[in-house]
Amino acid sequence: MHWRPTATARLMTFDPEGLTPAQCEGDACVACHKKWPRPRIRIGRLPNDAILFACPDCAEALLPQPAADVRPLTRGMALTT
């Protein structure tokens, strides 16, 4: 199985000091410690490039959400305060 992140993935780097051995090995969710079902969403990495995983609920909360309905300003529009 391929454990490296994809080229487009932007993973957060976590400090391993606050993580359990199971979290550091990718066997438990990095946020809630859940071990079953095994977390499968790549959420970050350690400084030694080990990949960390999260369960779907935690991954949704940890990953930055794309901005919705953002449009560029038109040429004639001015900002006022």
| Phi/psi at 21 (5° precision) | -60, -40
Which residues pair with residue 13 across a beta bridge?
45
Between CA 77 and CA 11 the distance in angstroms is 37
pTM above 0.85, yes or no: no
Q: Is the pLDDT of residue 68 over 80?
A: no
Would strands 51-54 and 12-13 be described as parallel, antiparallel, or unpaired? unpaired
Q: Given pLDDT bands bounded at 50, 70 and 90, which one contains residue 60? A: confident
Give me the mean pLDDT over the 53-78 stretch: 75
Q: What is the pLDDT of residues 1-46, one digit of tens each?
A: 444 444 445 678 889 998 999 999 999 999 999 998 899 999 889 9
